[in-house]
Amino acid sequence: MKFKNRTEAGLLLAEKLKSYDKNKDAIVATIPRGGLPIGNIIAKQLHVPLVIVLSKKIGHPYNKEYAIGAVTLNERVLSDEAHTVSQEYLNEETNRIRALLKERHEKYYGNIKTPSLKNKIVILVDDGVATGHTLISCIKLIEKQRPSQIIVALPVGPPSVIKKINEMPSVNKTICLLTPIDFFAVGQFYEEFNQVNDNEVIRLLKDANSFLEIHT
């Protein structure tokens, strides 16, 4: 099976999440940039707010693609492997990443204050998961904000990664539409899998929250 595009995947996920429709404690949190089209659809279908999880991994000094932690504007999580590198490196990377995230936050939100996730039912959405490193880091960062629940909603992911996410103590429920064994990349399960740029992110974020204001 393949999804036609992210819109179709979003509509199918929204159907699985309809018990949260108009729930005043629910909020859709999505990972940029590919998760935004799906988050936009789900937020509008459920009549709940949409926020972006702005985080970025800390790469190992000898292999930047290998994540040893992740940073948001206010929080940091470190993996066990982070203890093998210097505190100076971790602090420098944290400050560098925070500066980038601050620029991105200003670009996406302007002067609008982002809503708190404390005591919220957070529906965490992306367009799919491969290794799970980014998503797991986001879950740990969201957990620090003390939501009442974390629901992970994904169109596709390999069975081993979905199992790992589902077994995280802070995850209350995991919804994944496809868990193929022959998984190579998220894009192989979409007929259309276009890049999502910053302008589209801004448009989708405003669209979902403007829709909510009109329909509540």
d(CA 203, CA 168): 33
d(CA 114, CA 30): 13
3-class secondary structure, 88? helix
Residue 210 has pLDDT above 80, yes or no: yes
Residue 56 has pLDDT above 90, yes or no: no
Mean pLDDT value across residues 23-42: 95
Length of the chain (residues): 216
End-to-end CA distance of the chain: 36
Identify whether residues 141 and 189 lie together within a single domain: yes
Residues 98-104: contacts with CB within 8 Å, 24+ apart? Answer: 98/71, 98/73, 100/56, 101/54, 101/55, 101/56, 101/71, 101/72, 101/73, 102/73, 104/32, 104/54
Identify whether residues 11 and 41 lie together within a single domain: yes
Share of the chain above pLDDT 70, in %: 100
3-class secondary structure, 131? coil
Query: In this structure, what token pair is assigned to residue 203?
Result: 């448009």
d(CA 35, CA 41): 10
3-class secondary structure, 192? coil
CATH code at 31?
A: 3.40.50.2020
* Residues forming a β-bridge with 22: none
Identify whether residues 96 and 175 lie together within a single domain: no
Task: Provide the residue range defining the domain that includes 72.
Answer: 57-108
Residue 216 has pLDDT above 80, yes or no: no
Taking each helix axis as running N to C, give the angle between helix 133-143 and helix 159-166, from 0 to 180 degrees, rounded to the nearest 10: 10
- Residue 164 corresponds to which amino acid? K
- Domain count along the chain: 2
pLDDT at 215: 82
Boundary (domain end) residue, out of 66, 91, 108: 108
pLDDT at 35: 95
CATH code at 87?
A: 3.30.1310.20
Identify whether residues 136 and 186 lie together within a single domain: yes
**8 Å CB contact between 208 and 40:** yes
Identify whether residues 44 and 127 lie together within a single domain: yes
Identify whether residues 136 and 171 lie together within a single domain: yes
**8 Å CB contact between 97 and 74:** no
Give me the chain's average pLDDT, please. 93
Mean pLDDT value across residues 70-97: 92
**8 Å CB contact between 104 and 97:** no
Identify whether residues 104 and 189 lie together within a single domain: no
Identify whether residues 205 and 149 lie together within a single domain: yes
User: How much is the pTM?
Assistant: 0.90
